Amino acid sequence: MKYAFFPGCSLESTAWDFDKSTRAMCQALDIELTDIPDWTCCGSTPAHSSNASLATALPAMNLQKAREMGLEVMAACASCYARLRTANHKVKTDEQERERVKTITGAAYAGETPVRHVLDVLVNEYTVERVRSRISKPLSGLRVASYYGCLLSRPPEVVAFDNPEHPTCMDELIDAAGGEPVDWPYKTECCGASLSLSNANIVGRLSHRLLAMAVEAGADCIAVACPLCQMNLDMRQADANAHGKLPPTPALYITQLLGLALGLKPDDLGLNALTINANAVLKKISSGERRSAQAGAAR
């Protein structure tokens, strides 16, 4: 399995741990990633809020480069993924938009490069069963609230690899990794996303709601697949606490959790970048391991 990887700006700065854990996990699963050479920013929310032509052209420039590679694109950042998919959707459904992209980028592009999210690849190409067969350090006893946020499953006309209101791909992967997916109602509620810098008070309120619900559902940690969600739930947990004190709840990238279950070391997965450290998670996993070893010895 081989993909052209689009890391995106967050993965080379605030979310370098998502980058590191995605690459390490893919390597452990024999999924080969080659970066799109000289990739550039997808434009994210500021582009689609400010300049519709740019919002399609910036992703298209990268998808044109990937077309040369003859590979499908894989993205990890949910926001980049949504922007790349939206650009494909626009050029496929709107002829004027296609013309604009040609004028702006100097080359034709009609949406030839398929774009996949790492979760889509794992669940629909690699398959959950194959992931299960590769697990060497099960997340035994670890209760995980899978948080999908907005852009992995919405809008369904554009993304569509999971149910928009009740996605399950991360829960299936947590289960395959030996953990316990918790049932909770805020899987797809918004964290405030890019309002993080401009309106931290709103993000604090929304993060508090999410964290409080995860805690109430009995989660030991939250699994995320978006750099903005991760930042709002992890680094801004202090701001969330201003709305009511909560026990510290680590928010790990799904790639970090799967990496641990594949036997990778915390350092290989960038766990040291977390604000709320993952010690409680690691402890729980190793005590689960001891328990199952003892049970094995007793048998």
State yes or no: residue 13 binds other proteins (CB under 8 A): yes
- Among 273, 276, 278, 281, which residue sits at the site for other proteins (rule: CB under 8 A)? 273
- Among 32, 94, 95, 267, which residue sits at the site for other proteins (rule: CB under 8 A)? 94
Which range, of 69-77, 96-104, 174-182, 213-221, touches other proteins by CB under 8 A? Answer: 96-104
Which residue's structure tokens are 């010690």?
A: 279
- Among 30, 35, 51, 92, which residue sits at the site for other proteins (rule: CB under 8 A)? 51
- Among 23, 85, 116, 154, which residue sits at the site for other proteins (rule: CB under 8 A)? 154
Dist CA 297 CA 64 (whole Å)? 57
Task: List Cβ neighbours of 245 (8 Å cut-off, separation of 6 or more).
Answer: none
Task: List Cβ neighbours of 1 (8 Å cut-off, separation of 6 or more).
Answer: 30, 31, 32, 121, 125, 126
Minimum Å gap between C-beta 27 and other proteins is 21
State yes or no: residue 200 binds other proteins (CB under 8 A): yes
Which residue's structure tokens are 């582009």?
A: 47
Minimum Å gap between C-beta 114 and other proteins is 21
Size of the site for other proteins (CB under 8 A): 55
Phi-psi region of 43 (alpha: psi -120 to 50; beta: other; left: phi over 0): left
Which range, of 26-34, 42-50, 135-143, 257-265, touches other proteins by CB under 8 A? Answer: 42-50
The strand pair at 221-224 and 180-181 is best described as: unpaired
State yes or no: residue 202 binds other proteins (CB under 8 A): yes
Dist CA 5 CA 12 (whole Å)? 13
Q: What share of the chain is helix, strand, coil (3-state, %, to 5)?
A: 55, 10, 35
Q: Are 42 and 58 in contact (CB under 8 A)?
A: yes
Minimum Å gap between C-beta 63 and other proteins is 13
| Contact set with other proteins (CB under 8 A) | 9, 12-16, 38-41, 43-54, 57-58, 61, 94, 100, 103-105, 150-151, 154-156, 164-165, 188-190, 192-195, 197-200, 202, 205-206, 235, 272-273, 275
